[in-house]
């Protein structure tokens, strides 16, 4: 079976994440310790004990989710006696999960990634004053009608406020981002068009839209400081929904990703076109694996979070 390893993004964090892994596997504990050392912070304690309010701060969430995902990948390699390239044809990650994917595939070093994500979280938080931006999810409406609504709202706006599609997650699941007023206008239009559900999201900043340009500039400077190697298997990139292995292209795409659309639905469709039959989600939660069949009914999804999941997966190889 041809499979890809995929890595979750923000929103999958939970108190207790990674604890089972750390208790069961020395290699997982080593991952968490290396991240703690790189950040000069006891992130592991925060992940294990909370409070959730502090764990949910973007600057903490991003390296925590990455550490858990990479821990699963390292355990798979150690316990299975196989390299990642022996188990997967591609890697892909949702937003910050792209950093997890690249680290698991050996393109980025773990300590570098931890520091990059700490910087990324802080930069994204600072890019837009609280209350200026917003994000919203539209459920039950596909990408083309949403793009039409965004264009309609922009054409009738009397100011320069922006609203764009931030995430094309799956059929019937699209996320908007931009100025709060502009996002609210698109939501009202969507309700008039009969959208099944439209809701503002409890986020601290409007991610993946042009308002994040200051954060993109910061990440360009931060990424220039680190070495990026060709990944063990190609990355299917968020902003292109296409495979990439060239280090400098990866570096540029990670900068673009801060302001660009997460083309997750297209990425999954692309992997299906490359004869991938299964997406295996590594880390916390089951968000990506749960969306698989909504995008491609011929593809299966599964999630590896704890020792029992990992054992079952390795036994299936």
Same domain, 116 and 143: no
Residue ending a domain, among 160, 185, 203, is 203
Q: What is the extent of the structural domain holding 216?
A: 3-127+211-316
pLDDT band per the 50, 70, 90 thresholds, residue 225: very high
Structural domain count of the chain: 2
Per-residue pLDDT averaged across 28-45, rounded? 98
pTM of the model: 0.96
CATH number at residue 78: 3.40.366.10
Q: Are 54 and 26 in contact (CB under 8 A)?
A: no
- pLDDT score for 157: 74
Give 249-295 pLDDT, tens digit per residue.
999 999 999 999 999 999 999 999 999 999 999 999 999 999 999 99
CATH number at residue 178: 3.30.70.250
**Coil, strand or helix at 198:** strand
Give 120-148 pLDDT, tens digit per residue.
999 999 999 988 999 999 999 999 999 99
Residue ending a domain, among 182, 203, 224, is 203
- pLDDT score for 203: 85
Write out 51-103 in H/E/C secondary structure: CHHHHCCHHHHHHHHHHHHHHHHHHHHHHHCCCHHHHCCEEEECCCHHHHHHH
Same domain, 39 and 103: yes
Residue ending a domain, among 186, 203, 220, is 203
Q: How far apart are CA 267 and CA 271, in angstroms?
A: 6
- pLDDT score for 155: 86
Same domain, 244 and 102: yes
Same domain, 87 and 227: yes
Q: How far apart are CA 239 and CA 34, in angstroms?
A: 29
Pull the structure tokens for residue 36: 């703690």
Catalytic residue among 12, 22, 95, 107: 95
Whether 95 sits among the annotated catalytic residues: the reply is yes
Same domain, 25 and 113: yes
Give 74-133 pLDDT, tens digit per residue.
999 999 999 999 999 999 999 999 999 999 999 999 999 999 999 999 999 999 998 899
Same domain, 39 and 153: no
Q: How far apart are CA 204 and CA 297, in angstroms?
A: 34
Catalytic residue among 208, 267, 278, 289: 208
Whether 267 sits among the annotated catalytic residues: the reply is no
């Amino acid at each position: 079976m041809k499979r890809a390893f995929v890595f979750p993004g923000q929103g999958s964090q939970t108190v207790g994440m990674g604890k089972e892994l750390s208790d069961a596997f020395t290699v997982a504990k080593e991952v968490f310790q290396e991240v703690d050392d790189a950040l000069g912070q006891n992130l592991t304690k925060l992940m294990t004990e909370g409070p959730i309010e502090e764990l949910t701060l973007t600057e903490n969430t991003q390296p925590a989710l990455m550490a858990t995902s990479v821990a699963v990948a390292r355990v798979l390699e150690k316990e299975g006696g196989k390299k990642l390239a022996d188990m997967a044809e591609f890697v892909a990650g949702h937003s910050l999960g792209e950093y997890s994917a690249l680290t698991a595939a050996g393109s980025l070093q773990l300590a570098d990634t931890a520091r990059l994500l700490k910087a990324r979280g802080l930069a994204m938080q600072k890019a837009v004053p609280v209350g200026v931006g917003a994000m919203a999810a539209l459920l039950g409406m596909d990408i083309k009608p949403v793009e039409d609504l965004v264009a309609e709202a922009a054409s009738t706006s009397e100011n320069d406020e922006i609203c764009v599609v931030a995430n094309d997650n799956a059929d019937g699941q699209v996320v908007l981002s931009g100025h709060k007023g502009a996002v609210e206008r698109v939501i009202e239009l969507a309700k008039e068009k009969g959208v099944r559900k439209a809701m503002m999201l409890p986020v601290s900043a409007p991610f993946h839209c042009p308002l994040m340009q200051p954060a993109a500039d910061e990440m360009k400077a931060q990424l220039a400081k680190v070495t990026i190697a060709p990944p063990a298997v190609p990355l299917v990139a968020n902003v292109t929904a296409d495979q990439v292995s060239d280090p400098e292209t990866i570096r540029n795409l990670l900068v673009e990703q801060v302001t660009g659309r997460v083309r997750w639905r297209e990425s999954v469709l692309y992997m299906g076109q490359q004869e991938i039959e299964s997406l295996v989600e590594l880390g916390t939660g089951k968000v990506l694996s749960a969306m698989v069949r909504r995008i491609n009914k011929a593809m299966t999804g599964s999630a590896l979070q704890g020792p029992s999941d990992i054992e079952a997966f390795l036994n299936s190889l």
